[in-house]
Every structure is written in C-alpha cells, then in structure tokens.
Amino acid sequence: MEKFEIEDFEWEMVGGGHWEMDDDKKILILSGASYVYGRFAPSRLHEKIRTVDH
C-alpha cells in the first residue's frame, strides 16, 4: 500500500514519519519525522494504543 488515509475525526495525529507493514511477521515499523507533524513519538503511541478496545 502506497498511501493510507483516515477519514475518522476521532483519530489524533501524534507525530509523523514513515511506516512499513510486514503482513507475514505481523509487524508494523514506524520511524522518521514529518515537517508538519514532527518526529515519530513512540512513547505517546504506546499510551494511545493502550486506550484502544480491540
């Protein structure tokens, strides 16, 4: 997938950068930075993921 768009207003952008998914290993790799959203913030991601029900 080249592009991922979210059209749900309940999402919050907590940093920018690059992502890569390995479906076989069930791994999501997040890295880098964005001029608009700033650096990828792994600590905030962990905090946000813990609030998701599924």
Q: Is the dihedral of CA 47, 51, 52, 54 positive or negative?
A: positive
For the stretch 28-47, pLDDT in tens is: 888 888 888 788 777 777 77
Model confidence at 54, pLDDT cuts 50, 70, 90, reads low
Mean pLDDT of the 7-31 span = 82
Alpha-carbon torsion, ordered 51, 42, 33, 52, to 10 deg = -10
Mean pLDDT score across all residues of the chain? 79
Q: Is the pLDDT of residue 49 over 80?
A: no
pTM, to two decimals: 0.47
